[in-house]
Chains A and B, each alone.
Chain A
């Protein structure tokens, strides 16, 4: 019975937290397109999510596909667990 290590959950939660800030800022900026401070904050977290995505994927495989993530060998996009199985 293969299970993911505790670190999987920790890294995932860090990514979920940063991505959540980005979701909130996205919706805010959709109605506040001239808030420069919010745009700077958005770009700051967009950069941070890039680092987190890279760190997560180097250990646990691709988060996105259709070419938005690199693949390991063999093809590991369709490896379990899927998000609802965790």
Chain B
């Protein structure tokens, strides 16, 4: 299974004005890896699908913001 994130480490200069973010991440959602969707992939129930935004579990890749109470940081 593919990971939904990739990370990299930008160069840190002694003259950078802000405290450096040592590791940066970017999204690599499941559609990048699926190819042509095969038949009979596992599905969510209708109400779960609505909440997830997709009928197929393989595409589920939720994004949470750092300011959301109880969540925060990058999604797992």
Contact = CB atoms under 8 A, between A and B. Distances in A.
For chain A, what secondary structure do more than half of its interface residues adopt (helix, strand, loop), or is it mixed? helix
A50 interface: no
For chain B, what secondary structure do more than half of its interface residues adopt (helix, strand, loop), or is it mixed? loop
Given A28-B37, A32-B37, A35-B39, A17 B47 contact: yes
**Size class of B's contact patch?**
10 to 19
Instruction: Name the residue among A17, A31, A32, A37 with the largest chain B CB count within 10 angstroms.
Output: A17
Contact of A16 (B39, B50, B54, B55): B50
Nearest to B55: A24
Interface string B38-61: 011000001101100011100000
Interface residues of A, number: 16
B55 A37 contact: no
A38 B50 CA distance: 18
Contacts of A55: none
A20 B37 contact: no
Interface of B: 36-37, 39-40, 46-47, 49-50, 54-56
22 contacts: A13-B47, A13-B50, A17-B46, A18-B46, A20-B46, A20-B49, A20-B50, A20-B55, A21-B46, A21-B49, A21-B55, A24-B49, A24-B54, A24-B55, A25-B55, A28-B37, A28-B55, A31-B36, A31-B37, A35-B39, A37-B39, A45-B46
